[in-house]
């Protein structure tokens, strides 16, 4: 009997989409990891080093205690009736938990909430946005989601009617965007970031890509910006941001601003400015530009990937469109409550004068110092890459990654073709098999055709970095000799 769900009968959009961050290389790494367990010594390395994914707490980063105290008390509110908790929890985590529970109807953290998320928590987030930007935010504009990703899918679903609807996406990009566009049957319209100018964005290039797409009959609906960038790490200059906003307004594009790395900036000469702030600073209001801003609990100094907390703030959409967004959100009923609470905590952390402030600040500073050291780690990784022949690496101003460029010799490119792999995937596979280091090939993110890259996180523990660098060096030099012209 022919299978109705044999792969040839599946939705072609599913077959088409790709997501390299947990793709082939990673699956192979997991197999090798199992092999290390069952046959120790059978490989030229002792451990797999996952540098493929921005998952800080899996590599030793600690959660912020205050946040976890509040969440634990909300998970088990009965604790608030017990005197003993005074010796186990900080006093302001207890009062914050009580305050949050009072915002939840019936204090029932196990109930489905409003489909946009608990109103009181959205008020908190709106206040946090207002305080960050200096421009007011509205709780009704906020949709809490299971991580930021579902909010991206929702907008792609809304915007893409058919294969002639295009979305402008930076190249290189975080492949959620390419995957989501493929899944929803749209056209990805690339705009190339300029590697020679630190992954800078030229609005004239974006305009050219837009016009080119239009001349091919593509109706370009939206522009995605990732700021700070992933995989590239660049923080946009404010002037660039103004250019982007004006461009979207003039061209009638929805601006989708992925700002999940807003609290991961490692250089003193750049600051995060939200696109909402930029839009409002230009005097644009609700009538002028549809904007969706994404934030997540997974990154920053909180790094709570496993919680699936995030939100999108939607502004500049008409009421009928907002109703549709609400309607689609309501089919899933609501996002997980614990993640909602956490999203409100990161937008309203302890402040100077609060009892937990000192310990919270010490932890936050400690994590940021660690990330900054990893930024130096980034520096030492960056330096190491730059010292090797055939690799150059731009500075990562923010986010959690390095994205070095490889100059692969022609012989390597041919060997890759024989192996039926993209050249950078071939390189990454060889790297994995020699060293146990897992990176994601640049072809998973998009790149200027004929250039090759890989993405490596800056998250490995500091003490492992020298070993990573030396193993990498040995591998790379051998690879370049083997495939020498």
Partner 1 sequence: MGRKGLDYEDLNENVKKVQYAVRGELYLRASELQKEGKRIIFTNVGNPHALGQKPLTFPRQVVALCQAPFLLDDPNVGLIFPADAIARAKHYLAMAPGGLGAYSDSRGIPGVRKEVAEFIQRRDGYPSDPELIYLTDGASKGVMQMLNAIIRNDRDGILVPVPQYPLYSAAISLFGGSLVPYYLDEEANWGLDLVNTRQSVAAARSNGITVRAMVIINPGNPTGQCLSEANLREILNFCYQENLVLLADEVYQQNVYQDERPFISARKVLFDMGGPISREVQLISFHTVSKGYWGECGQRGGYFEMTNIPPKTVDEIYKVASIALSPNVPGQIFMGLMMNPPKPGDISYLKFATESKSILDSLRRRAQIMTDGFNSCRNVVCNFTEGAMYSFPQIRLPQRAMDTARSAGKEPDVFYCLKLLEATGISTVPGSGFGQKEGVFHLRTTILPAEEDMPAIMSSFKKFNDSFMEQYQDYSKL
Which residue, 79 or 282, has its beta carbon nearer to partner 1? Answer: 79
Q: How far is the CB of 284 from partner 1 (least distance, A)?
A: 11
- Residue choice 68, 132, 246, 379 for contact with partner 1 (CB under 8 A): 68
Contact 188, 169 (CB under 8 A): yes
Q: What is the DSSP letter of 234?
A: P
d(CA 380, CA 230): 20
d(CA 207, CA 223): 11
Q: Is the peptide bond before 231 cis (omega within 30 degrees of 0)?
A: yes
7 binds partner 1 (CB under 8 A): yes
SS3 221: strand
- Residue choice 28, 43, 45, 55 for contact with partner 1 (CB under 8 A): 55
- Residue choice 33, 95, 115, 130 for contact with partner 1 (CB under 8 A): 115
| Ranges within 377-406 binding partner 1 (CB under 8 A) | none
| Ranges within 320-359 binding partner 1 (CB under 8 A) | 320-321, 324, 327-328, 330-339
Q: How far is the CB of 480 from partner 1 (least distance, A)?
A: 32
87 binds partner 1 (CB under 8 A): yes
d(CA 246, CA 284): 10
Which x/- pattern over 224-253 shows residues binding partner 1 (rule: CB under 8 A)? --------------------------xxxx
478 binds partner 1 (CB under 8 A): no
Which residue, 194 or 318, has its beta carbon nearer to partner 1? Answer: 318
- Residue choice 58, 99, 131, 407 for contact with partner 1 (CB under 8 A): 58
Neighbours of 287 (CB within 10 A): 7
| Ranges within 157-216 binding partner 1 (CB under 8 A) | 157-161, 176, 179-180, 183-184
- Which runs of consecutive H residues, i.e. helices, occur in 87-237? 91-103, 119-133, 149-159, 176-183, 203-215
- Residue choice 33, 65, 95, 348 for contact with partner 1 (CB under 8 A): 65
* Binding range to partner 1, per CB under 8 A, among 10-18, 127-135, 376-384, 396-404: 10-18
2 binds partner 1 (CB under 8 A): yes
Q: Of 333, 271, 297, which is closest to residue 128 (Cα–Cα)?
A: 297
Q: Which residue shows structure tokens 């239009």? A: 214
34 binds partner 1 (CB under 8 A): no
Contact 439, 364 (CB under 8 A): no
At 71, phi and psi to the nearest 5? Answer: -65, -40
- Residue choice 34, 318, 386, 410 for contact with partner 1 (CB under 8 A): 318
Neighbours of 361 (CB within 10 A): 15
Which residue, 62 or 194, has its beta carbon nearer to partner 1? Answer: 62
* Binding range to partner 1, per CB under 8 A, among 8-16, 372-380, 397-405, 411-419: 8-16
Contact 52, 439 (CB under 8 A): yes
Maximal C-alpha separation, the chain: 74
461 binds partner 1 (CB under 8 A): no
- Residue choice 92, 195, 259, 304 for contact with partner 1 (CB under 8 A): 304
Provide the token pair at 112. Answer: 């489905």
Contact 25, 428 (CB under 8 A): yes
Which x/- pattern over 123-152 shows residues binding partner 1 (rule: CB under 8 A)? -----------------------xx-xx--
Contact 207, 247 (CB under 8 A): yes
Which residue, 35 or 194, has its beta carbon nearer to partner 1? Answer: 35
221 binds partner 1 (CB under 8 A): yes
Contact 336, 311 (CB under 8 A): no
């Amino acid at each position: 009997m022919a299978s109705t769900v044999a792969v040839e009968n599946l939705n072609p959009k599913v077959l088409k989409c790709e997501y390299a961050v947990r793709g082939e290389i990673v699956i192979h790494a997991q197999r090798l990891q199992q092999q290390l367990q069952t046959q120790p010594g059978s490989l030229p390395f002792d451990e797999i080093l996952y540098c493929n994914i921005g998952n800080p707490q899996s590599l030793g980063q600690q959660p912020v205690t205050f946040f976890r105290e509040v969440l634990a008390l909300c998970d088990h509110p009965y604790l608030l009736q017990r005197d003993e908790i005074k010796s186990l929890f900080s006093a302001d985590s207890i009062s914050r938990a009580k305050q949050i529970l009072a915002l939840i109807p019936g204090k029932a953290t196990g109930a489905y909430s409003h489909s946009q998320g608990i109103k009181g928590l959205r008020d908190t987030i709106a206040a946090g946005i207002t305080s960050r930007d200096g421009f007011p935010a509205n709780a009704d504009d906020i949709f809490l989601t299971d991580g930021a990703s579902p909010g991206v899918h929702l907008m792609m679903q809304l915007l893409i009617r058919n294969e002639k609807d295009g979305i402008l996406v930076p190249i290189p990009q975080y492949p959620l965007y390419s995957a989501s566009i493929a899944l929803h049957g749209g056209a990805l319209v690339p705009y190339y970031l300029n590697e020679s100018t630190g992954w800078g964005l030229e609005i004239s290039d974006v305009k050219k890509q837009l016009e080119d797409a239009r001349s091919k009959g593509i109706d370009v609906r939206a522009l995605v910006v990732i700021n700070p960038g992933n995989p590239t790490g660049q923080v946009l200059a404010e002037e660039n941001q103004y250019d982007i906003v004006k461009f979207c307004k003039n061209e009638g594009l929805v601006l989708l601003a992925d700002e999940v790395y807003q609290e991961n900036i490692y250089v003193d000469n750049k600051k995060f400015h939200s696109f909402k702030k930029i839009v409002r600073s230009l005097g644009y209001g609700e009538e002028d530009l549809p904007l969706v801003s994404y934030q997540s609990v997974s990154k920053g100094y909180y790094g709570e990937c496993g919680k699936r907390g995030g939100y999108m703030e939607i502004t500049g959409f008409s009421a009928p469109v907002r109703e549709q967004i609400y309607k689609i959100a309501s089919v899933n009923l609501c996002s997980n409550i614990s993640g909602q609470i956490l999203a409100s905590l990161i937008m309203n952390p302890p402040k100077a004068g609060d009892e937990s402030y000192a310990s919270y600040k010490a932890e936050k500073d400690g994590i940021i110092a660690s990330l900054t050291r990893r930024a130096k780690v980034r520096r030492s990784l960056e330096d190491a890459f730059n010292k090797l022949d055939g690799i150059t690496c731009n500075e990562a101003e923010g986010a959690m990654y390095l994205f070095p460029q490889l100059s692969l010799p022609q012989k390597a490119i041919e060997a890759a073709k024989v192996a039926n792999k993209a050249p950078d995937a071939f390189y990454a596979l060889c790297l994995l098999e020699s060293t146990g280091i897992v990176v994601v090939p640049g072809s998973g993110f998009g790149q200027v055709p004929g250039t090759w890259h890989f993405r490596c996180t800056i998250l490995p523990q500091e003490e492992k970095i020298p070993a990573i660098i030396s193993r990498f060096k040995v591998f790379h030099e051998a690879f370049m000799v083997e495939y020498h012209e």
